[in-house]
Amino acid sequence: MREYLSDIEGAARSAADLCTQMMAYAGKGRLDVRPLNLTGLVREMAQLLRVSISKDIVVRFELDDAVPMIAAESSQIRQIIMNLITNAADAIGDEGGEIHLVTGSGHFDEAALDASYFETDLAHGPYVFLEVSDTGGGMSPEVLEKLFDPFFSTKPTGRGLGLAAVQGIIRSHKGAVRLVSRPGVGTSFRVLLPAAAENVVDSAPEAQPEETTWDAGKLLVVDDTEAVHTVTSRMLKRTGFEILRADDGASAIAMFEAYKDEIAVVLLDVVMPGMTGEQVLGELLQINPAVPVVLSSGYADQAGESVVSSKGAAAFLPKPYARGDLLQLLESLLKEPRPTPPA
């Protein structure tokens, strides 16, 4: 059974990754923007990049340790790097060649930015760049014209979402890309990302929580999808919580009213038939504002920091979430009692 379960998990992760790429292309990916050192990120990924492509391809790094910080979502910048490297490797093929990866920074004026893809009217100023060049066969003008179109691919097995996702991520970070390709010579992508303020410093990685059990009472899961209830209950099976479930807003409010002094946390779906998650959130806060309510959704524009701050939610948990993500969030919410908001 282990082999079959591993295949199922791999397929589920691939489906989640595909959805993430589609959301990135549409500019709807959720951005957890933090200070990021691009050179440091590339160094961290160096070994992974090398083992992800053919051994016949040499990867050469030219990294500038003095680049300014950028404000970015690290997982999405990782996706840009990986997609450009795999695209370069595909362009080189089985005969072997070289990929050159460069980081740096500079001041880019309007003329330089206007010559880039995607964005117009970008502010001139300091930018950090990532450049990925290959010695592949290059691309014709006809291919270049369609290169960033979703579902366009020159590979028989390609999905055509790798570079389309790169486009969406760069747009969401207010950046641009410069592209030069010559048939028979190779291709060079230069991604430009605006430098952050001078006083921004890199944030230390958060420590992962240890396996924790809580004698914390009840946790209410509100979701109209049976699979979410099943999986979340299994994730929390040995944590000490008693799991309550509600399939819609009305039943959630009734259950919360009945157990308002025993429920420790509420995990609330944003998109449900009938009452929306935000409407339910308002009702729950009226009943007992001291109980933290976590909004959860697969759509970044359905919730996030704006709703968390303005509507009184304790946090936002994007779907699909892993067990470690859920436990880490609960650990942060239950570490200290949450103060009761003023009336």
Angle formed by the axes of helices 323-334 and 226-235, to 10°? 70
**Residues near 129 by Cβ (< 8 Å), separated by ≥ 6?**
102, 103, 104, 105, 106, 190, 191, 192, 193
The predicted pLDDT at position 233 comes to 87
Mean pLDDT, rounded, for 285-300: 86
User: Is the pLDDT reported for residue 16 higher than 80?
Assistant: no
Cα 21 to Cα 167: distance, rounded to the nearest angstrom: 10
pLDDT grade, residue 181 (50/70/90)? confident
Could you read off the pLDDT of 48-58 as tens digits, one per residue?
888 888 889 99
C-alpha dihedral sign at 19, 24, 29, 32: positive
Dihedral over alpha carbons 135, 141, 146, 147 (to 10 degrees)? 10
Q: Which helix (H) or strand (E) holds 279?
A: helix 277-287
pLDDT grade, residue 75 (50/70/90)? confident
Cα 73 to Cα 77: distance, rounded to the nearest angstrom: 6
Mean pLDDT, rounded, for 27-33: 61
| DSSP classification of residue 117 | B
Give the tokens for residue 189.
Answer: 């992508």
Domains and CATH numbers, the chain: 2-194 (3.30.565.10), 218-334 (3.40.50.2300)
Neighbours of 44 (CB within 10 A): 12
DSSP characters over 144-196? HHHTTSTT--SSTT--S-HHHHHHHHHHHTT-EEEEEEETTTEEEEEEEEEB-
Residue carrying the six token digits 């460069």? 102
Mapped onto helix, strand or coil, the DSSP state of residue 5 is helix
Could you read off the pLDDT of 182-227 as tens digits, one per residue?
888 899 999 999 998 764 555 444 444 445 555 567 999 999 988 8
For the chain, give me the number of helices (H) and strands (E)?
A: 11, 12
Lowest mean pLDDT among 153-157, 276-280, 326-330: 153-157
pLDDT grade, residue 29 (50/70/90)? low
| DSSP classification of residue 104 | E
The predicted pLDDT at position 278 comes to 86
Q: How far is CA 11 from CA 15, 280, 323, in A?
A: 6, 34, 17
pLDDT grade, residue 74 (50/70/90)? confident
Percent of the chain with pLDDT over 90: 29
Cα 164 to Cα 152: distance, rounded to the nearest angstrom: 9
The predicted pLDDT at position 266 comes to 94
The predicted pLDDT at position 103 comes to 96
Q: What is the CA radius of gyration of the chain?
A: 23
CA angle at 96 for the pair 94 and 100, rounded to the nearest 5°: 125
pTM given for the model: 0.56
- Omega before residue 320 within 30° of 0, cis: yes
The predicted pLDDT at position 223 comes to 92
Q: Residue 109 CA to chain centroid, in angstroms? A: 30
Q: How far is CA 121 from CA 31, 95, 110, 164, in A?
A: 22, 41, 8, 21
Q: Which helix (H) or strand (E) holds 40?
A: helix 38-51
pLDDT grade, residue 148 (50/70/90)? low
Count of residues for the chain? Answer: 343
Residue carrying the six token digits 């589920």? 12
Yes or no: say if 88 and 134 are a contact pair by the CB < 8 Å rule. Answer: yes
Neighbours of 315 (CB within 10 A): 18
